[in-house]
Amino acid sequence: MSEARAARLLTAEEFAALPDNGMRQELIAGEVVEMPPAFPGHGLVCARIMVPLGGWVDANKLGLSLLNDPGVILARGPDTVRAPDGAFYAAARGVEPGFTQYLDTPPDLVVEVVSEHDRRGEVLAKVAQWLLAGVQMAVVAWPRRAQITVFGPGDEITLLGRGDTLTCEALLPGFALAVDAIFPI
């Protein structure tokens, strides 16, 4: 990497200080990557997963659930800040959300809803980053197919479709959500 290129790489703190330009952004290996705003259906699917999940987490005092792209630092030197559509942190981890800095602890579970702008390879690369950072479970919703892919410990991958139920027993005991309830008809 040339010195000129390395000089342009941002840290997570510099990234956090950038002015809001109206675009969704993540920091990947020190470089800002912009994504167009998601369409409303994306938000609907996010809500249909995260509202029941967050309610379950709160009702059972299991920890902390976050949505709406909370920034999480996944790597340093160069820095990477990713933003899941939803996240869960187990209570035992003691994670406290802040309002002026990104979390530096990867979640236990992330939820990613694939938008019209996302490419399959990019989504899978992001899931791999989450898992390598220590995330125990990644739930990926594919609205156009009305499917959920659950990436679990090791190489465990589960594909769910209509008629199936999303569970996260190891992290959220007793939680169950029908796949049919997630996707608009």
Per-residue pLDDT band for 5 (boundaries 50, 70, 90) equals: very low
**17 lies in some domain:** no
Q: What is the pLDDT of residues 24-78, one digit of tens each?
A: 899 999 999 998 888 999 999 999 999 999 999 999 999 999 998 999 999 999 9
Per-residue pLDDT band for 162 (boundaries 50, 70, 90) equals: very high
Picking from 45, 172, 40, 174, the residue whose alpha carbon sits closest to that of residue 111 is 45
pTM, rounded to two decimals: 0.91
Task: Check whether 4 has a pLDDT greater than 80.
Answer: no
Residue 47 near residue 177, CB atoms below 8 Å: no
**23 lies in some domain:** no
Range of the domain at 166: 38-182
Q: What is the pLDDT of residues 83-135, one digit of tens each?
A: 999 999 999 999 988 888 899 999 999 999 999 888 999 999 999 999 999 99
**87 lies in some domain:** yes
Number of separate domains in the chain = 1
Give pLDDT, residue 3: 46
Average pLDDT, the chain: 92
**6 lies in some domain:** no
Q: Domain holding 137: CATH number?
A: 3.90.1570.10
Give pLDDT, residue 25: 93
**56 lies in some domain:** yes
**16 lies in some domain:** no
**76 lies in some domain:** yes
**166 lies in some domain:** yes
Token pair listed for 89:
């942190």
Instruction: Kindly report the three-state secondary structure assignment for every residue of the chain.
Output: CCHHHHHCCCCHHHHHCCCCCCCEEEEECCEEEEECCCCHHHHHHHHHHHHHHHHHHHHCCCEEEEECCCCEEEECCCCEEECCCEEEEEHHHCCCCCCCCCECCCCCEEEEECCCCCCHHHHHHHHHHHHHHCCCEEEEEECCCCEEEEECCCCCEEEECCCCEEECCCCCCCCEEEHHHHCCC
